[in-house]
Amino acid sequence: MKPERWVIKLGTGVLSTREGSLDLPQMENLTQQLIEIKKKNIDVIIVSSGAISCGMDILGYSKRPESIEELQTCSTLGQPYLMHYYKQLFSAHGFHVAQLLVTYFDLDSLSLRKNIQKLLENLLLKKTIIPIINENDCVSYEEIRFGDNDRLSSHIAVLAEAQRLIILSNVAGLMDCRNGKNKMISYVEEIDSTIEKLAEGTRSERSVGGMITKIEAAKIAQASGILTQIADGREKNVLVRIYNGEPLGTIFETKKNERTLRTNSRSLP
Q: Which residues are paired to 6 by β-bridges? A: 44, 164
Confidence at 256, pLDDT banded by 50, 70, 90: low
Judged against a pLDDT cut of 60, whether residue 139 lies above it is answered with yes
**Interatomic CA distance for residues 118 and 143, integer angstroms:** 24
Among 24-33, 78-87, 143-152, the range scoring the smallest mean pLDDT is 143-152
Structure confidence by residue, pLDDT tens digits, 2-24? 889 999 999 988 998 887 778 99
56 CA to centre of own chain: 21
Reduced to 3 states (helix: H, G, I; strand: E, B; else coil), residue 182 is coil
- Beta strand ranges found along 83-174 (DSSP E): 96-102, 129-135, 164-169
The three-point CA angle 44-263-42 to 5° equals 15
Homologous superfamily of domain range 4-252: Acetylglutamate kinase-like (3.40.1160.10)
Q: What's the whole-model pTM score?
A: 0.90
Positive or negative, the Cα torsion across 250, 254, 258, 260? negative
Tens of pLDDT, residues 78-134: 999 999 999 999 999 999 999 999 988 899 899 999 999 999 999 999 999 999 999
85 or 260, which is more confident? 85
Rg of the chain taking only CA atoms, in angstroms:
18
Map residue 222 onto helix, strand or coil.
Answer: helix
Please give the average per-residue pLDDT across 162-182, as a whole number. 88
Which pLDDT tens digit goes with each residue over 155-166?
999 999 999 999
Q: Which residue has the higher pLDDT, 212 or 206?
A: 212
102, 108 in Cβ contact below 8 A?
A: no
pLDDT at 260 over 60: no
